[in-house]
Chains A and B, each alone.
Chain A
Amino acid sequence: MIKVKINGQEQSWDGDPDLPLLWFLRDEAGLTGTKFGCGQALCGSCTVIVDKEAVRSCITSINDVAGREVTTIEGLHPNGDHPVQKAWRQVNVPQCGFCQAGQIMQAAALLMDNPKPSHDQIREAMSGNICRCGCYQRIENAVHLASTGV
């Protein structure tokens, strides 16, 4: 039996220990905010925070996070008012929105690590997250806004 804390709640799994965390979250735990975009750690849609680090849940097995703390977009802030979320809304970032949970989690992890990232540091840290709609200019502006206070 694998035990993992997700958004503060204890969850357990006694199926395939190799099951990617992404599919545990989405299909078994019903937390569909985390998205599937590539399954190969190439797009960042599935980004969650494990302990304090941004992680691609599509290539992280449920076994890899046993005993650790996972935060998904649903658990980032109780009312959805994390500074990154607020900045995202202020800048009107999303188009289709599908990549945005992953982008927001990546940005939140970046700011935990580096509260005042430069233009280049934002671009570097966010470069694993694809937005096919092409919201990059606004993503950069929103991360910048979140880092300077919303």
Chain B
Amino acid sequence: MNFIDNPGKLRGFEKHVKIEKVSRRSILKGLGITGGFVLAAPVMTRQAFAYETGAGKMPHGVVVDPRVFVSVAPDGIVTIVGHRSEMGTGVRTSLPLIVAEEMEADWSRVKVQQAHGDEVKFGNQDTDGSRSTRHYLLPMRQIGASARTMLEQAAAKRWGVPATEVKAVNHEVVHSASGRKLGFGELAADAAKESVPAIEGLKLKDAKDFRYLTKGQIGIVDLHDITTGKARYGADVRLPGMKYAVIARPPVTGGKLVSFDPDAALKVPGVEKVMKVQGWPWPSKFQPLGGVAVIARNTGAAIKGRNALKLVWDDGANAKYDSVAFRKELEEASRKPGLVVRQEGDADAALKGADKVIVGEYYIPHLAHVSMEPPVAVADVKGDKAEIWAPVQSPGGTRDDVAKTLGIPEGNVTVNVTLLGGGFGRKSKCDFALEAALLSKELGTPVKVQWTREDDIRNGFLHTVSAERIEAGLDKSGKVIAWRHRSVAPSIASTFAAGTVHQAPFEVGMGLADMPFEIANISCENPEAAAHTRIGWFRSVSNIPRAFAVQSMVGEIAQATGRDQKDMLLELIGSPRIVKPNVKDLWNYGEPQDSYPIDTARLRKVVELVAEKGQWGRQVPKGHGLGIAVHRSFVSYIATIVEVAVDDKGKLTVPRVDTAIDCGTYVNPERIASQIEGAAIMGLSLAKYGEISFKDGKVQQKNFDDFQVVRIDESPVVTNVYIVPPGPDTPPSGVGEPGVPPFAPALINAIFAATGKRIRSLPIGKQLEA
């Protein structure tokens, strides 16, 4: 059967899902500014899982069609399409594994084929927001169940028995009454002629019969290729006649090229050409910054050529951006009232009447993603056709943007998705692919644009910079009766719309307005802040500064009242309940509140679980300390305990990390553990070293020497991960991002326990050395 070669009308599906074309690039919809959405995913009859997700509201929604995702060859090899981008989360394995599970395919006879960018065909492909399993667990099960049903129907017809008497088991269909069996390969041609069953009638497997899901015994599909150097990332694409390009971009965001002298560059052996690259005015969305490209026979020559360029820039409106001055501006703004995004009770009055007010001012600078593979793309543009090979998180969006940038129809653009050498949100923005497309068009040959690490650090889409100020008012008994949180940070929306000074709804919903504590008087405010560089999504986004501030404040309150951190945390979370903040259209990671409420029972549970497994309160050696933090993000609940050791010179090490995660129904616990282990490293990196700063509009850092990340010799000795077993109807939630936010505050609370020093400004840097 080849479902792919047998298109035809969708059956049983089209009446439930209406897919409107919503351009990925109408990005403002994601920022909650305009509507125009797709209808929700099919309403399921109550089966193994019954829940609704926001998947149907994503651009191009969900496609549940086995003919798009599955094919079976006569030799029995089952090919399953992975339509999301693999950047290290394991999604290229996990989603096809779900299909294989439901269709009873034997994983050793399954091949995974990477989808190119085509959201009309495959549904939404934008791999960010920790959404893949959350949005596709059920659709992938339905796809697998459909394919299984078609194979069973074909076998039943062949044998002339009712379909209810046959059953697919491990890559064959069996008729147990007669003992007959037919392999999937033998049934392929007939099954392809079967109609696709209606979704409502599909029978999903009982969880107790799972062979692969929730077991965690399947390695990622690229494991062998990765360990032998065969795995193909964006940088590894080679085409006949391909040229290598490195681009000099404006050192200040919004700057423009005034003039350039190519002579010295052209003398470098291997350099063939020097040419201008078109840039877009700021704010430039995902469009290229422009500059000068050096074209060479290899990347080494192109880099050497670029170093020899003489360039004159007009730095433009952001030439004065200075991080020291900007920090003051943000902090001053945080001390004055701002736009109120959530209000319950009367925080002003309660703070005035409080017995004690604790004030915490926290600062978190810009961060760069520094995915191990710097941005890179290959393009081959011929006439009105373009083909791209690139490590992009959003292949559909890239296709759309390439078409618009070149002025050709979207149907003429093919976007091939390679493996991504890390993404972390950077590769959601396809500027590097657009650069390659523009250059290839002009050169008439295939071209690879390679960003150097310096380019990546200096010309990226940075994590925002923020000042967070929290005032907590306590009554005589030490109970917190008032909470005012002001968060001041340039918004990601500033990269799309000039004049943006407030956080977008999705940023407000990341740890500010959705704060879960049971406090009578709450005010959450967002004073104004303008952006002076490109701001973008960074793994877990605004949750980083918000969790840092809120969970540090919990530690400060515990410290001021002489309470245990964990007890204080549980007291603030309060009773088990569904939190309904007084916020109009509170952003909930795009998910319906019914399926994904803010549930403090689950929040409490991860705190209690990590406290138990991580032995909260255990005796630690002198100079060591324990810290705890919890945070809900991407509709998952995560609590972390960090044990830190600080020596008398102020050098810190992390002997142990314990993390409990409740991500609902899950697929692959082994990959969940690897994501959480990695999140601890990223959390430690940003806490210890993470800072991109500006002077005269220019980024002050350049490479891993001055933008450091944690190395193996300073990484936690052990990170233990505990996964909360899901209830039968608990919908799946995010895994890739939510591990990051609680780490830094748990570490900071641990440092306080170890040293009595309270760190309020990240990175820690030399603060412990004093």
In the complex, chain A residues whose CB is within 8 Å of the CB of B453: 37-40, 42-43
Q: Which of A36, A122, A128 contacts B374 (CB 8 A)?
A: A36
- The chain A residue sitting closest to B681, CB to CB, is A134
Query: B419 contacts the other chain (Cβ, under 8 Å)?
Result: yes
Distance between Cα atoms of A72 and B228 in the complex (Å): 10
Contact status A73-B228, CB under 8 Å: yes
In the complex, chain A residues whose CB is within 8 Å of the CB of B711: 127-130, 136
Known: A35-B373, A36-B450. A100 touches B244 (CB 8 A): no
Distance between Cα atoms of A43 and B298 in the complex (Å): 21
Known: A92-B219, A130-B372. A40 touches B704 (CB 8 A): yes
What's the minimum C-beta distance from B740 to chain A, rounded to whole angstroms?
10
Contact status A34-B229, CB under 8 Å: yes
Of A15, A98, A130, most buried by chain B (CB within 10 Å of CB) is A98
Of B226, B450, B681, most buried by chain A (CB within 10 Å of CB) is B226
Query: B695 contacts the other chain (Cβ, under 8 Å)?
Result: no
Stretch among B198-206, B284-292, B713-721 lining the A interface:
B713-721
Contact status B229-A101, CB under 8 Å: yes
What's the minimum C-beta distance from A26 to chain B, rounded to whole angstroms?
7
Distance between Cα atoms of A136 and B715 in the complex (Å): 7
Distance between Cα atoms of A63 and B704 in the complex (Å): 26
Q: Which of A96, A122, A136 contacts B88 (CB 8 A)?
A: A96
Interface string of B228-265 (1 = CB under 8 A from A): 11111101101000001000000000000000000000
Of A88, A97, A127, A140, most buried by chain B (CB within 10 Å of CB) is A97
Query: B227 contacts the other chain (Cβ, under 8 Å)?
Result: yes
Distance between Cα atoms of A49 and B222 in the complex (Å): 24
Contact status B233-A126, CB under 8 Å: no
Known: A20-B300, A130-B711. A97 touches B231 (CB 8 A): yes
What's the minimum C-beta distance from B219 to chain A, rounded to whole angstroms?
6
Distance between Cα atoms of A89 and B225 in the complex (Å): 10
Q: Which of B244, B270, B303 contacts A15 (CB 8 A)?
A: B270
Contact status B226-A74, CB under 8 Å: no
Q: Which of A16, A97, A131 contacts B222 (CB 8 A)?
A: A97
In the complex, chain A residues whose CB is within 8 Å of the CB of B682: 132, 134
Distance between Cα atoms of A34 and B373 in the complex (Å): 12
Contact status A133-B301, CB under 8 Å: no
Query: A111 contacts the other chain (Cβ, under 8 Å)?
Result: no
Query: A66 contacts the other chain (Cβ, under 8 Å)?
Result: no
In the complex, chain B residues whose CB is within 8 Å of the CB of A35: 233, 235, 372-373, 421
Contact status A85-B704, CB under 8 Å: no
Contact status B220-A38, CB under 8 Å: no
Known: A92-B220, A134-B679. A38 touches B704 (CB 8 A): yes
Known: A23-B299, A37-B453, A136-B681. A99 touches B372 (CB 8 A): yes
What's the interface size class on A, roughly? 35 or more
What's the minimum C-beta distance from B514 to chain A, rounded to whole angstroms?
27
Query: B420 contacts the other chain (Cβ, under 8 Å)?
Result: yes
**A interface majority secondary structure:** loop
Known: A80-B224, A95-B89. A135 touches B678 (CB 8 A): yes
In the complex, chain A residues whose CB is within 8 Å of the CB of B467: none
Query: B401 contacts the other chain (Cβ, under 8 Å)?
Result: no
Known: A38-B703, A94-B223, A98-B421. A138 touches B674 (CB 8 A): yes
- The chain B residue sitting closest to A79, CB to CB, is B228
Known: A38-B704, A132-B371. A80 touches B227 (CB 8 A): yes
Query: B452 contacts the other chain (Cβ, under 8 Å)?
Result: yes
Distance between Cα atoms of A131 and B421 in the complex (Å): 10
Known: A92-B220, A139-B712. A36 touches B299 (CB 8 A): yes
Distance between Cα atoms of A109 and B704 in the complex (Å): 23
Contact status B299-A27, CB under 8 Å: yes
What's the minimum C-beta distance from B454 to chain A, rounded to whole angstroms?
8
In the complex, chain B residues whose CB is within 8 Å of the CB of A101: 226, 229
Query: A116 contacts the other chain (Cβ, under 8 Å)?
Result: no
- The chain B residue sitting closest to A42, CB to CB, is B704
Query: A124 contacts the other chain (Cβ, under 8 Å)?
Result: yes
Distance between Cα atoms of A13 and B63 in the complex (Å): 51
Query: B705 contacts the other chain (Cβ, under 8 Å)?
Result: yes
Q: Which of A15, A32, A95, A127 contacts B235 (CB 8 A)?
A: A32
Query: B680 contacts the other chain (Cβ, under 8 Å)?
Result: yes
Known: A43-B372, A92-B670. A33 touches B230 (CB 8 A): yes
Contact residues, A1-48 vs B (CB, 8 A): 15-16, 18-20, 22-24, 26-28, 30-40, 42-43, 45
Interface string of A130-150 (1 = CB under 8 A from B): 111111111110000000000
Q: Identify 16 new A-B residue pairs, CB closer than 8 A, beyond the known A98-B372, A101-B226, A136-B681.
A: A26-B235, A27-B244, A38-B453, A42-B704, A73-B229, A85-B228, A92-B219, A95-B90, A96-B371, A97-B88, A97-B419, A123-B712, A128-B711, A131-B372, A133-B681, A138-B677
List, sorted by A's number, 9 A–B pairs whose CB atoms are closer than 8 Å. A15-B297, A19-B298, A23-B301, A36-B299, A40-B704, A96-B419, A101-B229, A137-B677, A137-B719
Q: Which of A's residues lie within 8 Å of B, judged by CB?
A: 15-16, 18-20, 22-24, 26-28, 30-40, 42-43, 45, 72-74, 76, 80, 85, 88-89, 92, 94-101, 104, 122-124, 126-140
Cβ-closest 4 pairs across A and B: A33-B229, A134-B681, A98-B421, A23-B300
Q: Which of B's residues lie within 8 Å of A, judged by CB?
A: 86-90, 219-220, 222-224, 226-233, 235-236, 238, 244, 268-270, 297-301, 303-304, 370-374, 419-424, 450, 452-453, 670, 674-675, 677-682, 703-705, 709-713, 715-716, 718-719
